[in-house]
Amino acid sequence: MTDLYHHILLLLKECKKNNQKPLLVVCGPTASGKTALSIKLAQDFNGEIVSADSCQVYRKMDIGTDKIGIDIRKKIKHHLIDIRDPDQQYTMSDFKREATHAINDILMRGKLPIVCGGTGLYISSVVENYDLPLAPPNLKIREELQKEYEKGGNLHLYNMLVELDPATAAKIHPNNVRYVARALEVVMQTGPREPRKAKPIYQVFKMAIDWPREVLYDRINKRVDDQIDLGLLNEIKTLLLEGYDESLQSMQALGYKEYFAYISGQRPLQDCKEELKQNSRNFAKRQLTWFRRDEEIYWITPEDFTELCS
C-alpha cells in the first residue's frame, strides 16, 4: 500500500468513527495528471468526481479544456462538466453552490466525493466554506468595465481593483482579466469584502503531483501539440460559426484565445502554438505558487504517481 492510500484510509476511518463527511481534493497545475489520478482514486475508493475547472463547465469546449471523454464519464460519474453554454457566465458563487450540492449528493449515496481541478479559488470556496457575497451578473457594470478595458487594458482594470479592494486584488494575477473584471463587478455592487470563512463542512485530504518544473513544462508543451492533432482548430472554428464571439468569457480561456489570430489569417499557426505553450507555462507557475502556499497538500512523487496510474 502506498503512503497516499494509507492517508486516505485513515481519513475514511476517522470520518466513519466521528460521523464526519470525507472529501478528497486532487489539485495542482495544468497538465500535471490530476484527471488520471482522480479516476484511479474513484475506481479504488468507490468515488465520484466533482470538476473544479472553470472552463470544463462549458459545453462544446472539449479539446481545448482537456475534458474527460464521455466513455470514462459513463463509467465514473463526473459533476459540473458541460453545465453551461459558452455564452453563459459562471462565477465562483455558482461553483461553490453547485459543487456543495454535488458533494452532498455523492455522500448521501454512500460514495466518496473527489474534487479535481486547478482553479484554486474554486477549491478554497468549498474546502474553507466561503460565505460569498450575493452579486448577480450586472450588464451595466460589465459594459462600463469593457469600456475601461478598451481604454487602458489589463493593468488599468487591475489598478481599479487595487484601489477598490486591495485584499481581493492581491489574490488575482493582473493578467487574469476575467477574474479581475468579475471581482470589480462584485465590489462595485457589494463594496470591498473579504470572503468570510464559515465552519468547514468536510474533513478534507488534499493532494497534488510534485513534478520537476522542466518535466511539467514538457508535459504542457506535449499537450498543446496533441490538442492540434485531436482537432482543436476545428472545435474553435465550429464555435465561431455557431455565433460564440471570441470576446466571451469562455472563449478567452487558454487554448482558445491564442488561435484566433491564426484562424483570421493574421499569424502563423506555429507562432500561436508557441504563445499558448508560454501562456500555459506561465499559468502553471502561478498555480504552483498558489498551491505551494497550502501546507495541507500532500505532494505525490512522480514515481508514486506513475506506479498508481500506469
Query: Per residue in 220-238, pLDDT tens?
Result: 999 999 999 999 999 999 9
Q: What is the dihedral of CA 47, 52, 58, 59, to 10 degrees?
A: -10
Q: How far apart are CA 199 and CA 263, in angstroms?
A: 49
Overall fold of domain 139-190: Histone, subunit A (1.10.20)
Q: Of residues 160 and 281, which shows the higher confidence score? A: 281
The residues that bridge with 110 in the sheet, in sequence order, are none
Asked whether residue 297 carries a pLDDT value surpassing 70, the answer given is yes
Q: What is the pTM of this model?
A: 0.84
Report the pLDDT averaged over residues 196-215.
92
Asked if pLDDT for residue 288 goes beyond 70, the answer is yes
Quickly list H helices, the chain.
Answer: 3-18, 34-44, 70-75, 92-108, 120-127, 139-164, 166-169, 177-190, 213-230, 232-241, 260-263, 269-292, 302-309
Q: Which three cell numbers stand for residue 116?
A: 479535481
Categorize the per-residue pLDDT at 195 as very low, low, confident or very high, splitting at 50, 70 and 90. low
Q: Nine-digit cell at 302? A: 512522480
Does residue 212 carry a pLDDT above 70? yes
Instruction: Determine the Cα–Cα distance for residues 280 and 272; give it in Å rounded to an integer.
Output: 12
CATH 3.40.50.300 location in the chain: 3-131+200-211+290-309
Cα angle 159-163-167, degrees, rounded to a multiple of 5: 100
- According to CATH, what is the number of the domain 3-131+200-211+290-309? 3.40.50.300
| Average of per-residue pLDDT values in the chain | 91
Instruction: Give residue 175's pLDDT.
Output: 78
Kindly tell me if the per-residue pLDDT of 206 is higher than 80.
yes
Q: Where in the chain is the domain with CATH 1.10.20.140?
A: 139-190
142: exposed, middle or buried (Cβ count in 10 Å: 0-12, 13-18, 19+)? middle
* CA 25 – CA 127 distance, rounded (Å): 9
Q: How far is CA 92 from CA 52, 54, 55, 182, in A?
A: 10, 9, 12, 9
Res. 162: pLDDT tops 70: yes
pLDDT score at 182 = 79
Residue-wise pLDDT for 87-114, tens only, equals 998 888 899 999 999 999 999 999 999 9
pLDDT > 70? residue 194? no
Contact of 115 with 102, CB cutoff 8 Å: no
Between residues 176 and 126, which one has the greater pLDDT? 126
Q: Is the pLDDT of residue 37 over 80?
A: yes
> Beta partners for 112?
47
Instruction: Report residue 246: phi and psi, to 5°.
Output: -65, -15
Q: Which CATH class is domain 213-285?
A: mainly alpha
What residues does CATH 1.10.287.890 cover in the chain?
213-285
Q: How far apart are CA 106 and CA 104, in angstroms?
A: 5
Give pLDDT tens digits for 234-267: 999 999 999 999 989 899 999 999 999 999 999 9
CA torsion sign for 48, 50, 53, 57 is positive
The pLDDT value given to residue 1: 59
> Which residue, 122, 114, 116, is CA-closest to 90?
122
Alpha-carbon Rg for the chain, nearest whole angstrom, is: 20
Residue recorded with cell 490538442: 227
* Residue 230, all three cell numbers: 485531436
Helix (H, G, I), strand (E, B) or coil at 23: strand
Compute the residue count for the chain.
310
pLDDT (0 to 100) of residue 196 = 62
Cα distance between residue 16 and residue 26, in whole Å: 21
User: pLDDT above 70 covers what percent of the chain?
Assistant: 95
Pairing of strands 112-116, 130-131: unpaired
Which uninterrupted H or E stretch holds 298? strand 297-300
278 forms beta bridges with none
